[in-house]
Amino acid sequence: MKSKKGYFFKKKMVFYLFVLPGAVYMTLMIILPICSNIIMSFQDVNLMNFASKERNFVGLAMYQDILREDVTWVAVKNTLWFTFWCLVFQFPIGFALALLFSKEFKGSRFLRGINVVAWMIPMVAVAGIFKYMFNSDIGIINQILMNLHIVDKPVEWLAHGNTAMASIIVANVWKGVPFNMILLATALTTVPADVYESASIDGANRLHRFFYITIPLLKPAIVSVLTLGFIYTFKVFDLVYVITGGGPGSSTEMLSTLAYRYSFNEYNFSQGAAVANVLFILLMLVGLVYIKIVTKEDGGDR
């Protein structure tokens, strides 16, 4: 009996030892920074008192200040607009590529690998490439458009609000398409082939099979891809910061870049923390909606 208890104790200790590194990392790198950020948003923290402990508690004053600022609502609108159009383009393109590469044809594996390489490139490198491509003087985009006689003179893509927003949307879509393709292509492999064969025997054409078999069976994967795509796009920072820096003016200012500007350009750390917390709350709500949908589907399956 004693040896049995000792065995279970050792087994439990081994479990805790395996969990410990992850728990320590989560605590130090995620939980503590989030808690510190929340506390800072209720204090008046600037460059003068950042290193000291003399911080005045101001309650919700920082949140009231940022909500009174027009730039905050511009950043919210830009973030939603940017996220919406990125999802509108990258999800259908990724889905189409997933359907294409689910078929075996000559060169399919090579082309699939090329798409994956695009996803593996760091976001800062992607931003630098697209900033160069959209350069009004030496950018390849203008060179192509002028050679095709679509435009007569170079377009200043990054100097105007609408074209600057379109530029970062194109860059993010290019980066996000492989992510959608990989997840959806993986999900397609789980669809049984005999289901399609039975449907074909019953007279279902390709459109019928797509809308009545593929889409319903991939619904959990589609919800996951859209949720993750929304989260990754909504919190984008490095792409926007490198290509436009939130400009021109505030035409491409996002919540993430606004939090950075308050904290590290204006050294108003409390306002930056407040904006970051707003971003965190919005993303948490999206996560809760996703959990609700998944839980409901799991309950329905049972």
Q: Output the 3-class SS for 131-143.
A: HHHCCCCCCHHHH
Per the CB < 8 A criterion, the answer to whether 123 and 130 are in contact is: no
Half-sphere exposure of 127 (CA within 13 A, CB side): 14
**DSSP H or E stretch at residue 57:** strand 56-57
Check residue 199 and give its pLDDT: 82
Check residue 18 and give its pLDDT: 86
What is the C-alpha to C-alpha distance for residues 133 and 141, in angstroms, rounded to an integer? 6
What residues in the chain have per-residue pLDDT under 70?
1-9, 297-302
Phi, psi of 56 (to 5 degrees): -85, 135
Burial 19-48 (b: 16+ CB within 10 A, else e): eeeeeeeeeeeeeeeeeebeebbbbbbeee
Check residue 82 and give its pLDDT: 96
Q: What's the full length of the chain, in residues?
A: 302
Angle ∠(266,269,270) on CA atoms, nearest 5: 125
